[in-house]
Chain A
Amino acid sequence: MTEDVRGLLADAFSLYRGSPRAAGLLREALDHLEQPLRVGITGAAGTGKSTLAAALGDWPTRALRDLALLDDPPPGTLTDATVRLFRHLEPDELAAALPTPRSAFARQTAVDTILVLARADETGAGRIDALLTAKQLARRAWREDPLCSGSQGVIAVAGQLAYGARAFDDDEFELLAAFAAVPREELERYLISVDSFTDPAFPGPVSVDTRRSLVSRFGLFGVRLALTLIRTGCDSRLKLSAELVRRSGLGELRDTIAGCFAARADALKARTAVVRLETVLQAEPRPHGDRLAARVERFAATAHDFRELRLIADIRGGRTALSGDPAEEAVQLLGAQGTAPEERLGLAPDADPREVYAAGIDAVRRWRHEAERPDRPPAERAAAHVVVRSAEGLLALFA
């Protein structure tokens, strides 16, 4: 795929030799094919972009290793994918922030956005079930709001909580554990508001400043949640940290970024280059530009990665008839959990190649059967066809 795009860009380059601006843009796209994938984190002021970028960025995980996170990249920066933050999933706010891409290719292959319902801990006036409510809101928006349906996921994340949970130390844990040890009835009235939490009358020897720093790091919601969790069994720093991260939605966001962006780095970079090319073709038309445009179209039609990503989003967003185990298997085969054959087939990484092959054959057979069942609606069969194509693709590695 990358080679095709290089060829396209090289041809475009000769077409635009006379225009330094266009040539510069194309050169940048060409160079970028060699560089790590760039994921921009964007959103209106006050949505917590930097906090989230820090929470994701300071996370030494294999999945996000070859990835550059750009905190609020200025317009015009070349980015391959976007994590877009929203305070609320209000139609007005969404409509203003999600412009339809101008390029036809970009529209056809729009697999580059994850929406985040940021500051999820503030949902519903910061009640203890705020994160659950936020999760439901995000899920509903992804399933029902046409503005959200074009994205690879709508995920509720409590950025501040996630950041605090990722980076807190033993002293802080001891502090929280000490608070949790205070009888609940006694503590309750000091957890009503930030002001009461930092009230000098707070029981125990912890200074006002310490309490203030704690509440500004975790938020009042975070403190309340941490105390509840400690009381219900998260009795070590690591356990508490893991549980807070899980509940904050950061883990889900990271997995989605890994599965939909990092694992498809080459496809997404190629896409960026082609979108750039199409923009240049539109901005400065040339006599033979239509030939390139036709090649771009062909490229979009043949790139299976985009179809896989599209379908993964559709299945997970509940926009297909698939559900339950078949849906799970389909997204796995489509490469949502990794694009290596073993990962697609749900086998151990060091599985015997013969076993992989057999499982691949089995998957192709079963899904081909699904794809050809006349009693299914055409959309469903088309989806099954995409899965078949993915399964065949992994068999092709054995040829």
Chain B
Amino acid sequence: MTAPPWLEVLDETLAACRTHGREDLALRLLRRRDRPSGGTRVAVLGFPKQGKGYLVNAVLNAPVCAVGDAPTPAVPVEIGYAAEPAATLIGRSDERIPVAVERMTGEIGARPTGSLRRVEVGVPRELLSAGLVLVDTPAIGDPRSARTAAALDVLADADAVVLVSDATTPLNSAELALAHHVRTWCPHVILALTKIDVCPSWRAVAEKDRTALSDAGIDARVLPVSATVRQAAAKTGDQELNARSGFPELLSWIAEQVARPAERSSALLAAVSVRAAAAELVETLRTRAEVAGRDAGVDQTTLLHRAQRKADDLRKRNTRWQNLLSDEIADLLSDAEFDLRERTRHIVEVIDETFDRGDPIKVWDEFGPWLGDTLTKAVETNYAWAAERAEWIAQAVAVSFGEQYDQPDLQFVDADAELIGEVRQPRIEGFKIGQKMFTGLRGSYGGVLMFGLITNISMGLSMFNPISAAAGVAFAAKTISDEGGMRLQRRQAVAKMTAQRHVDDVFLRFSKDCRDAIRGVQRKLRDHFTALADELSEQLARERETIIAGSAERERRTVRLRREIERLASLHQRAGELGLLAGRAPRELPA
């Protein structure tokens, strides 16, 4: 047997779909090509709650599909002929799990989403015995959902489609879009208008749907049906009621689909699918060509000008940020030093005050730790403040450089306050009892001597007499107190000096450290932004080269796309001719 003429066109289109990354279209064509001959597949499609399940059950006169508030399966259910009722779940990797028909819905629901591919149901119905397979599909919903994809996927091997929409409202835009899509992929479509038993205005709705479909250029009949009426008719065997249900008409349409010669049917389906795939692919390519065209619309000179302007900007920015950085760092250096000096000056003032009045011996135990703490705090505050300013400078520079770039991680060195040693207690002597005695003796000796002489001369008393002795005692006390005052002053001076020197040391050391840290920041920022500037200017240079080289490449790409579109158009045309041969006038490629 020679290969049918449509196979070649189909294969060529399939290859084109693969080349242009539309694997989904390719898969559909593949399924169309490899579809087993014989049998007619009629898919039932529609949005949720339109009565799909009721319709299928009424066609079969058997409760096969889940209806009402029961959740509809998220996979297609294929209903074919079998002598005994049987249901098989087909898993992701084509494993077959037989289940009882009546437990089917529950079994499907119990399995995790995505673990099933489809369900096969066999029922002993004469209607199906000639090889008819009815495919109940998941409800169409969110266009990105897996459920919708699974439903639309059924189109790839459907011979005919029953679209389901209920009579409560006319077709909405989403339903019309679905009808359009279905009609593109499948030549035989009918719209079943369900629930006409409960909708008083179903005739008006049917008329509206007819108009809407023909206005959209979709060639599909509208068939009002009622599953409820059909069920009631079946119960009573009322032929007239059955006729009113609309189902006899639907069944005769289905019979027409089954009766169509298989050979002609495959050719037509192949032709339609090729046309649909080619049209979708052309749409994709056109979008791509448009994008390419938009780039090409801007000519090379404009692009070069743009690049030049960018380079100028970069240069200007370079000077700006460098100036900013050096100015700010200089300010920060002097400010930080001034700040630390201010802080230490205050400390020195307190030291002076303390030792103007206090006795170092008594207060040192308290004073030493205080001085340490205060200095630590001063240094730390100073550092924190400098670090904050440095951070701010980094930001300011980054902004003047262009906000979109990163800032370097600054890591301003923390003040190492541990380095502030404890101020050592100066060697200051107390006034011990021996010293006091000695000093007292010295004073009393002078007093005795002096008063001894005076009394000796004026009163003729002996050198050592009670008066002299009393004077001696008085002198001794005075001398001790004088000597104490002098020692205190000396102690105070020493303490002051020691403390001040310590403060000075700390100041010198940390103002140096802080300066170094600031310089470090400056270097880091400079390196970072210089590197960034270099990188940007390199990028610009590359961009210019690409612009110069790129326009030729773009031109080539556009031509290639255009040629590809032409080729697809011709495939589309050839498929159309094949379709014509198969007995049907195809519509033209939508512009």
Contact in complex: A88, B48 (CB < 8 Å): yes
Binary B-proximity of A367-388 (CB < 8 A = 1, otherwise 0):
0000000000000000000000
Say whether A304 faces chain B, with CB atoms less than 8 Å apart.
no
- The one of B54, B168, B229, B238 in contact with A122, judged by C-beta atoms closer than 8 angstroms, is B168
Say whether B36 faces chain A, with CB atoms less than 8 Å apart.
no
> Which residues in chain A, 109-167, are within 8 Å of chain B measured between CB atoms?
119, 122-127, 133, 136-137
Alpha-carbon gap, A374 to B143, bound state (A): 49
Chain A residues with Cβ below 8 Å from B141 are 90-92
Contact in complex: B49, A220 (CB < 8 Å): no
Q: A46-B169, A195-B196, A221-B198 are in contact. Are A133 and B51 (CB under 8 A)?
A: no
Chain A residues with Cβ below 8 Å from B51 are 125
Say whether B331 faces chain A, with CB atoms less than 8 Å apart.
no
Q: A92-B141, A189-B241 are in contact. Are A126 and B69 (CB under 8 A)?
A: no
Binary A-proximity of B185-200 (CB < 8 A = 1, otherwise 0):
0000000000111111
Tell me what chain B mostly uses at the interface: helix, strand, loop, or mixed: loop
Chain B residues with Cβ below 8 Å from A119 are 168
Segment of A211-219, A268-276, A309-317 engaged in the interface with chain B: A211-219
Alpha-carbon gap, A221 to B54, bound state (A): 18
Size bracket, chain B contacts: 20 to 34
Chain B residues with Cβ below 8 Å from A208 are none
- The one of A90, A95, A126, A196 in contact with B49, judged by C-beta atoms closer than 8 angstroms, is A90
Chain A residues with Cβ below 8 Å from B238 are 189
Contact in complex: A195, B197 (CB < 8 Å): yes
Contact in complex: A122, B198 (CB < 8 Å): yes
Q: A46-B168, A189-B232 are in contact. Are A194 and B199 (CB under 8 A)?
A: yes
Contact in complex: A125, B200 (CB < 8 Å): no
Say whether A358 faces chain B, with CB atoms less than 8 Å apart.
no
Contact in complex: B69, A195 (CB < 8 Å): no
For residue A217, which residue of chain B has the nearest CB?
A: B200
Question: Least Cβ distance of B143 to chain A in Å?
Answer: 9
Contact in complex: A216, B229 (CB < 8 Å): no
- The one of B69, B197, B201 in contact with A193, judged by C-beta atoms closer than 8 angstroms, is B197
> Which residues in chain A, 162-208, are within 8 Å of chain B measured between CB atoms?
189, 192-196, 198
Alpha-carbon gap, A125 to B68, bound state (A): 7
Alpha-carbon gap, A123 to B238, bound state (A): 26
Chain B residues with Cβ below 8 Å from A196 are 229, 241, 244
Contact in complex: A215, B200 (CB < 8 Å): yes
Say whether A32 faces chain B, with CB atoms less than 8 Å apart.
no
Chain B residues with Cβ below 8 Å from A194 are 196-200, 202
Contact in complex: B168, A133 (CB < 8 Å): no
Contact in complex: A193, B226 (CB < 8 Å): yes
> Which residues in chain A, 71-117, are within 8 Å of chain B measured between CB atoms?
87-88, 90-92, 95
Say whether B397 faces chain A, with CB atoms less than 8 Å apart.
no
Q: A92-B142, A193-B228, A216-B200 are in contact. Are A133 and B195 (CB under 8 A)?
A: no
Contact in complex: A192, B232 (CB < 8 Å): yes
Contact in complex: A193, B227 (CB < 8 Å): no
For residue B167, which residue of chain A has the nearest CB?
A: A194
Binary A-proximity of B49-74 (CB < 8 A = 1, otherwise 0):
10100100000000000011100000
Alpha-carbon gap, A159 to B440, bound state (A): 118
For residue B70, which residue of chain A has the nearest CB?
A: A124
Q: A193-B196, A193-B198 are in contact. Are A124 and B48 (CB under 8 A)?
A: no
Contact in complex: A126, B198 (CB < 8 Å): yes
Say whether B236 faces chain A, with CB atoms less than 8 Å apart.
yes
Question: Least Cβ distance of A104 to chain B in Å?
Answer: 27
For residue A136, which residue of chain B has the nearest CB?
A: B69
Q: A193-B228, A194-B198, A195-B244 are in contact. Are A124 and B168 (CB under 8 A)?
A: no
Chain A residues with Cβ below 8 Å from B227 are 125
Alpha-carbon gap, A97 to B344, bound state (A): 68
Alpha-carbon gap, A91 to B71, bound state (A): 12
Question: Least Cβ distance of A89 to chain B in Å?
Answer: 10
Alpha-carbon gap, A46 to B205, bound state (A): 12
Alpha-carbon gap, A119 to B226, bound state (A): 19
Alpha-carbon gap, A193 to B195, bound state (A): 9
For residue B147, which residue of chain A has the nearest CB?
A: A92
Alpha-carbon gap, A30 to B228, bound state (A): 55
Q: A46-B168, A88-B49, A123-B69 are in contact. Are A192 and B198 (CB under 8 A)?
A: no
Alpha-carbon gap, A46 to B171, bound state (A): 12
Q: A189-B232, A195-B196 are in contact. Are A124 and B69 (CB under 8 A)?
A: yes
Q: A90-B141, A92-B141, A219-B198 are in contact. Are A192 and B69 (CB under 8 A)?
A: no
Alpha-carbon gap, A220 to B167, bound state (A): 14
For residue B48, which residue of chain A has the nearest CB?
A: A90
Alpha-carbon gap, A95 to B141, bound state (A): 11
> Which residues in chain A, 203-247, are within 8 Å of chain B measured between CB atoms?
212, 215-216, 219-221
> Which residues in chain B, 443-489, are within 8 Å of chain A measured between CB atoms?
none
For residue A119, which residue of chain B has the nearest CB?
A: B168
Chain B residues with Cβ below 8 Å from A215 are 200
Alpha-carbon gap, A220 to B168, bound state (A): 13
Alpha-carbon gap, A212 to B200, bound state (A): 8
For residue B195, which residue of chain A has the nearest CB?
A: A125
Contact in complex: B197, A220 (CB < 8 Å): yes
For residue B51, which residue of chain A has the nearest CB?
A: A125
Binary A-proximity of B134-146 (CB < 8 A = 1, otherwise 0):
0000000110010
Question: Least Cβ distance of B194 to chain A in Å?
Answer: 9
Chain A residues with Cβ below 8 Å from B49 are 87-88, 90
Question: Least Cβ distance of A279 to chain B in Å?
Answer: 28
Alpha-carbon gap, A49 to B49, bound state (A): 20
Alpha-carbon gap, A286 to B546, bound state (A): 45
Alpha-carbon gap, A87 to B49, bound state (A): 9
Q: A137-B69, A220-B198 are in contact. Are A125 and B54 (CB under 8 A)?
A: yes
Q: Which residues of A pack against B, CB within 8 Å?
A: 45-46, 87-88, 90-92, 95, 119, 122-127, 133, 136-137, 189, 192-196, 198, 212, 215-216, 219-221
What are 6 A-B pairs at a CB distance below 8 A? A92-B48, A126-B197, A189-B232, A193-B198, A193-B228, A196-B244
Sample of 14 more A-B contacts, CB < 8 Å, known A46-B169, A125-B228, A216-B200: A92-B48, A95-B142, A122-B195, A122-B198, A124-B67, A125-B51, A127-B68, A133-B69, A189-B236, A192-B241, A193-B196, A194-B197, A195-B197, A219-B198
User: Which 6 A-B residue pairings sit nearest by Cβ, starting from the closest?
Assistant: A193-B197, A124-B68, A92-B141, A46-B169, A126-B198, A92-B142
